[in-house]
Structure 1
Amino acid sequence: MTEYGRGQGSEPWHPEDPLYGDGGWGGQQAHAGQQSPYGGRPQHYPEQPQQPQQPQQSHYGDWSDGGQSAYGQAQQQYGQYGGHQEQPYDQQQYAAQAQHQQQPYDGDDGWGGGAQPHVQYPADPSDPYGQQSAGYGAERPDFYGTPEAYPPPEPPGRRRTEPEPQRQDWDPGPDEGEHAFFAGGNADDRDDDADDGDGAGRGRGERRGRGGKPRKRRNGCACLVVCLVLGGGVAGVGYFGYQFYQDRFGAAPDYAGDGNGEQVTVTIPKGAGGWTIGQELKKKGVVKSVDAFVAAQQSNPRGKSIQDGVYTLQKEMSAESAVELLLSPESRSNLIIAEGKRNADIYQLIDKRLEVDKGTTAKVAETKWKSLGLPDWATNHENVKDPLEGFLYPSSYSAAKGQKPEDVLKQMVARATEKYEELGLEKKAESLGLEGPWQLLTVASLVQAEGTSHDDFRKMAEVVYNRLEPGNEQTNGMLEFDSTYNYIKNQSKLDLSLSELRNYDNPYNTYYTKGLPPGPISNPGEEALKGALDPTDGGWYYFISLDGRTSEFTKTNEDHQKLVDKWNASRNN
């Protein structure tokens, strides 16, 4: 039968054996306050009768050979670990070396201020198990029996992290039930208490943290910082809450008066609503907020009739004053293109408006017309004088100093293309006996140039279509419009002789060439376009204006000659 801690056939334990004293393997568990047998006079215990025990499997070796094998292995292992040979047992030297090891770790260069050599522990010849160390992972016994004792240090390469002892007898003290923050403690206090594994006899006032430094306690500064942070948070919430209230329920910020006298030019894009207009005005410093302008526009009965274009306003105007000025023609500084204007005249207007050299816009039109946005059906036509003719649509455009002529021309071409698509020129051209929308636009330009009022545009369009009819007996396909001759001559004369008109060889001269001219001769307006799209059906072939304001239409050449004679008689008088 083998007992735990003893081999079969081994010698009985010795009373002075440190491994069988208080806290050893063979005796009872030592108490915290019991004096170590090496701290004073050795204590002797009466031998207790041995109680038979059940055989146990131990990880200290095979005990069936009387402990000799395990003893030898443990002795060899310990000798290799410690790096020394066995020395004769000296009790005083052993106790002194143990006391020397009780040095605190200073955190800088090891134990006790420097690297310590491994302590030698000579074996007791009478103790066959004195060389054995505790199993790996097991709790090491206290060989000295003192509360302040620590196990001998291991080499740095083989040190193991010991589990943190669990606190079992913590006393909350007089601040029991209070939070550590208000009790003046901190989280480090609990960590320091847990590290003082042998400080049960010390008072709370004597406890210190690692390294022997006194504990840090909270003071009024930390409380002040917390209060400031909380106060700042409350102020921030209040500020944003106020802003939210102002945005949702408060009056929109607005200036007062008609402005500060500093003029500024504002461009309102086409189709812009109140919000977009307000953004442009705020960007230029005219109004203080977009919401104020939108509110003023909605309260004005004519607010939604603000047109696109360039306006001259003042900075820091009230939203109400800004709306009124935008509705007034006096504030508009747009470039106005009248109906029936030729491109040559429009180019000069753009130059003057942008304050660039004369001929700049005409040069841009001549060299960059393909990149200005013309539709496909408006390109690749022969003998065309100006490809942009008919596409500088009569309207109001934003044009001011600093803009590029190319940008202004793009606005006009885009406006014309949109209008022609809206009216359906491409869809209705074939039904009118024309080859395409380009010819329809040319007819509209003739109607615009020859007509004297909006009332006779439909009759004028019928005259064109009837004369273009193949085989008609009245004109034989000749249009004979003075406006086409004046266009190619870049003039606007009324007194033209028949010899002059019929002898000038040019594709645009309808007195010399049958059919329509190569392209439009002006920029027709909406009324002329609608007249060309919906002509009358009265059989009209001729027209003449006696007063320069209205036209008279006839079906036969005889009736027309009577009107010509009447006009000549009025001029001779």
Structure 2
Amino acid sequence: MTEYGRSPGSEPWHPSDPLYGDQGWEGQQQYPQQQYQQQAPYGHQDPYAQQQTYAGGPYEQQQSHDPQQYPQDYGQQYGEQQYGQSAGYDTPGYPAQQYDATWETGQAAMPYNAPPADPYGGQQPDLYGTPEAYPPPQPPGRRRAPQQQPVTDWDAEPEEENHPFFTGEDAPGNESERYDDDAYDDDYDDEPDGRRSGRRGGKNGRGGKGEKGKKAKNGMACLVVAVVLVGGVGGVGYVGYKFWQGRFAEAPDYTGAGSGDVQIEIPRGATGYDIGNILKKNGVVKSVDAFVSAQQKNPKGQSIQAGVYTLKKEMSAESAVSMMLNPASQSNFVIPEGKRNVWVYEQIDKRLELKPGTTQGIAKAKANELGLPDWAKNHKNVKDPLEGFLFPASYPVAKGGKPEDALRKMVSRANQEYAKFDLEAKAKELGVDGPWELVTIASLVQAEGTSHDDFRKMSEVVYNRLKPSNPQTYGGLEFDSTYNYIKNQSTVDLSLTALRKYENPYNTYYVKGLPPGPISNPGIEAMTGTVEPTHDGWYYFISLDGKTSQFTKTNAEHQKLVEKFNESRKN
């Protein structure tokens, strides 16, 4: 097969053949004049039309034509413009429909009267539906080579890393190699487009001016790396030192027993480290670790209690632990059971080195701001609203503190302890008017009782005497302690005539019933005896030795004991 012709033979040529109009080899192909005239491109007439006849069968050549006289553009214009190549071989004696071109193209041959196949070998029809949708491909002889795309910067190979850290070149400042800046720059001045390359730190590059910029940047990078390495090594060394010091080195510590006095307050729940911090802050020990170590080495070190301690300054940790375990160093303010508020105020003024009367004045002015419960407020004829609420216990009252802070701690402790007894329910059970009267009764029991064993009997005496219908006192208490309270004294040498004439709400010889409020600060046992009285019928009591009390049920029995007591006083 030639590039543009067909194989020789007299095989019929159908007009739908892509090479219709081609003479084949040596002009042996025949074609009808009418079909050629219709298919000839650009409206040209075939000059050889009168020499061809149609026999109703295969086309026959009537006259041979000189290939040079035949218009060469027929097959080229029609076949090349429409398909760009010949249709392939037609073997004589075989119908065109049976021609198999798969050996050449890998595609099935296109049958007659079928739509043109994809010239690039695809089986899908033209989706646009028109032959003008795509330009006809050119034959191999006229095809142009694909246009080469210009190589852009991003298509180029990645620039090779030229940092001295990776290339092994000497960093700036290395005296083993020096460069001539001008000579170095000239090597990169002659770019094809007249530009000066900036890849190696030229004048237009990022590294400043030529090689100097590169050297400066490389030097800075090396400096940063060196600083990081040194810092890392230093950090590791510091951590290692601290670890060694904490594990194996002795903590800083003073030596000796110290000098001078300093009061230290240790709060409740303080740990060994908390105590060590307080001592270090006040100049007692040199380090927390030293104190904790000394506390752990002492078998009784964990028994250090909250409170105020009088210690020395700049004493060894071992000495500090030993002194805090010695009761003599503990300088907590302890309120004994049954003490009146007047005594408490005086002691606070002394400890805080305040003017006498300062704490008592603050107590009266700020009574409702110190934590009293609602049921303890706004009672009439009360001498001291805080009486009965400065609970007997140990309190840290050290120099530099404030009176209201100490009073607030005492009231808070009283609330905590009283809440354990459910005073509201107990008051209803015992027939008294609320918790306030129960605290008042407990203060009487605390003041009159001589031992803890007396409290339950003493509270029964109070309840029995308060009954208006009792045949002994008819509702009168007649306790010496209430008279002594209002007189701010403690004595047993009292005249019955003077007692009955002294008019005061607290004088139970003058008025019946309970005094306006508590007359002392009762403790836990007195409160326990108050809410759990005996039921033996006791109305009277007397202490012959000042240590124990004797109880009787009638006035006659009581008078016998009074005479016995008076005889002991004379002797």
Say whether the fold is shared (TM-score over 0.5).
yes
How far apart, CA to CA, are the structure 1 residues paired with 2:520 and 2:479?
14
Match of 2:408 among 407, 410, 415: 410
Q: Which residue of 1 aligns with 2:357?
A: 359
State the distance in 2 between where 1:348 and 1:196 align: 103
Contact 1:167 1:194 in 2 (8 A): no
Task: Write out aligned runs for 1:8-47 (5 A).
Answer: none
Give the conservation status (yes or no) of the 8 Å contact 2:484–2:491: yes
Aligned partner of residue 183 in structure 1, secondary structure: coil
TM-score with structure 1 setting the length:
0.63
Cα distance, 1:296 vs. partner? 3.8
Question: Is the alpha carbon distance of 1:357 and 1:207 closer, same or farther for their aligned partners in structure 2, counting shifts above 3 Å?
Answer: closer
2:201 aligned with 1:215, yes or no?
no
1:266-285 correspondence runs (5 A): 266-285=264-283
Deviations 1:103-143 (A, max 9, x none): xxxxxxxxxxxxxxxxxxxxxxxxxxxxxxxxxxx99xxxx
Secondary structure at the aligned position of 1:429 is classed as helix
Any idea what SS the aligned residue of 1:543 has? strand
Contact 2:452 2:526 in 1 (8 A): yes
> Alpha-carbon deviations, 1:496-516, whole Å to 9, x = none?
111111122222111122211
CA distance in 2, matches of 1:455, 1:346: 26
Amino acid at match of 1:215: E
Partner of 1:333: 331
- Structure 2 distance, partners of 1:343, 1:235, is 63
1:360-439 paired onto structure 2 within 5 Å = 360-439=358-437
Greater gyration radius: 2
Mapped contact 1:181–1:218 kept (Cα < 8 A): no
Question: 1:213 and 1:553 mapped to 2: Cα distance?
Answer: 114
Structure 2 distance, partners of 1:182, 1:261, is 68
CA contact (8 A) 1:192 1:210 kept: no
Match of 1:234 in 2: 233
Name the CA distance, whole Å, in 1 between partners of 2:336 and 2:300: 25
Superposed CA offset, 1:147-179 (max 9, x none): xxxxxxxxxxxxxxx97697679899xx9x985
Alignment of 1:25-424 (within 5 A): 179-180=165-166, 182-184=168-170, 197-198=191-192, 208-210=202-204, 213-216=209-212, 217-218=214-215, 223=222, 226-244=225-243, 246-247=245-246, 249-250=247-248, 253-424=251-422
Give the partner amino acid of 2:472: Q
CA distance, structure 2, for counterparts of residue 418 and residue 457 of structure 1 = 21
- State how far apart, in whole Å, the 1-side matches of 2:412 and 2:354 are: 23
Match of 2:569 in 1: 571
Contact 1:266 1:281 in 2 (8 A): yes
Change in 2 beyond 3 A, CA 1:218/1:338 = same
Paired with 2:458 and 2:155, the residues of 1 have a C-alpha distance of 111
> Quick one: distance in 1 between partners of 2:512 and 2:355?
39
Which segments of 5 or more consecutive residues in structure 1 lack a partner in the other structure? 1-53, 56-137, 140-161
% identical aligned pairs: 60
Distance 1:374 1:170 in 2: 84
| Alpha-carbon distance change, 203 to 422 in structure 1, aligned in 2, over 3 angstroms | closer
Question: What are the superposed Cα offsets for residues 7-47 of structure 1, whole Å, 9 maximum, x if unpaired?
Answer: xxxxxxxxxxxxxxxxxxxxxxxxxxxxxxxxxxxxxxxxx
Assess, with a 3 A threshold, how the Cα gap between structure 1 residues 572 and 225 changes in structure 2: closer, same or farther: closer
**Counterpart code for 1:410:** R
CA shift in 2, pair 1:554/1:278, >3 Å: same
Q: 1:548 to 1:169 in 2, by over 3 A?
A: closer
Deviation at 1:520, TM superposition (A): 0.3
Moved more, 212-221 or 311-320: 212-221
Whole-Å separation in 2 of the counterparts to 1:383 and 1:412: 23
Equivalent position of 2:456 in the other structure? 458
Normalising by the residue count of structure 2, what TM-score does the alignment of the two structures yield?
Answer: 0.63
Q: Which amino acid aligns with 2:457?
A: K
Q: Bigger shift: 277-286 or 439-448?
A: 277-286
Any stretches of 5+ residues in structure 2 without a counterpart? 1-79, 82-148, 173-180
Paired position in structure 2 for 1:527: 525
Closer, same or farther in 2 for the Cα pair 1:218/1:386, shift >3 Å?
same
> Does the CA-based 8 Å contact 1:390-1:521 persist in structure 2?
yes
The number of equivalent residue pairs is 411
**Amino acid in the other structure paired with 2:211:** R
Q: Is the 8 A contact 1:287 1:316 kept in 2?
A: yes
Q: Cα–Cα, structure 1 residues 181 and 433, in superposed 2: closer, same or farther, change >3 Å?
A: farther
Q: Compute the displacement of 1:315 (Å).
A: 3.3
Query: Aligned Cα RMSD in Å?
Result: 3.9
Q: Which runs of 4+ in 1 moved over 6 A?
A: 165-172, 189-195
